[in-house]
C-alpha cells in the first residue's frame, strides 16, 4: 500500500488538507497527518484538526508522497521550520513525490526544490522566487513535483495525487464516486 504524509501547522488551510486526506484515503492510500507540534491545531478558518503524530516522529523513508496544504499563517510556519525543509529535501533526494497547494509551493521554493521548475500557486506566493517558472493552471506537474493553486483546485490536486500514487483507473474510480 502506498503511503502519504500530510503536514499541518497552526493556520494551515483546512479545506486543502482535509480534501487531500479524504481523497487519498478513498484511493486506498494510507495517510499520516503530522503536526509541527503535538496536540490539536487550529486551521486558517478556525477548524481544529488533531494530527496523527508530529513532524519529529516521521521519516522520509516511510512515505511515497509528502503534501503541504497552504493557508496563512500555516505556510509561514512550514517555511520557517528547518525540520520541514530537511524532510522535503530528503524526500526529493529519494525520488519521492513532493506536493504543495496554495501558498505552500513557496515552502518547496524555500527548500530549493523549484529552481528552474514549473509550478503554480496562490497568486503572488512565488513572487520572491524568480527562478520558478510560474504557471496559472490548476495543477502543474514537473517531474515528481506537483503544485496547485488554492482551495478551489484542491479536489483536482488530490485526484492527481491519487493517480500518481496508483493509476488512472483508480483516479477515475475515486472521481466517479464523488459524483463531480
Query: Which sequence positions are flagged as catalytic?
Result: 102
Rama region for 163: left / alpha / beta (φ>0; ψ in -120 to 50; rest): alpha
Contacts of 130 (CB under 8 A, 6+ apart): none
Strand 65-68 to 53-54 pairing: unpaired
CB of 154 closer than 8 Å to CB of 148: yes
CB of 52 closer than 8 Å to CB of 26: no
**Smallest Cα–Cα separation from 79: which of 20, 11, 18?**
11
Q: How far is CA 22 from CA 29, 42, 84, 135, 162, in A?
A: 10, 18, 22, 26, 11
**Smallest Cα–Cα separation from 161: which of 112, 115, 101?**
101
| Phi/psi at 122 (5° precision) | -60, 135
Amino acid at each position: 500500500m502506498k503511503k502519504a504524509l500530510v503536514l499541518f501547522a497552526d493556520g494551515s488551510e483546512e479545506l486543502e488538507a482535509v480534501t487531500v486526506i479524504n481523497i487519498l484515503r478513498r484511493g486506498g492510500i494510507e495517510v499520516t497527518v503530522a503536526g509541527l507540534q503535538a496536540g490539536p491545531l487550529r486551521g486558517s478558518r478556525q477548524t481544529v484538526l488533531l494530527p496523527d503524530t508530529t513532524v519529529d516522529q516521521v521519516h522520509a523513508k516511510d512515505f511515497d508522497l509528502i503534501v503541504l496544504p497552504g493557508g496563512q499563517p500555516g505556510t509561514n510556519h512550514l517555511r520557517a521550520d528547518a525540520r520541514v525543509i530537511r524532510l522535503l529535501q530528503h524526500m526529493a533526494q529519494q525520488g519521492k513525490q513532493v506536493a504543495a497547494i496554495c501558498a505552500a509551493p513557496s515552502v518547496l521554493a524555500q527548500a530549493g526544490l523549484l529552481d528552474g521548475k514549473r509550478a503554480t500557486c496562490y497568486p503572488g506566493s512565488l513572487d520572491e522566487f524568480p527562478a520558478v517558472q510560474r504557471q496559472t493552471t490548476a495543477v502543474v506537474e514537473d517531474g515528481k513535483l506537483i503544485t496547485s493553486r488554492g482551495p478551489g483546485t484542491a479536489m483536482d490536486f488530490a485526484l492527481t495525487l491519487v493517480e500518481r500514487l496508483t493509476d488512472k483507473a483508480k483516479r477515475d474510480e475515486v472521481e466517479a464516486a464523488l459524483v463531480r
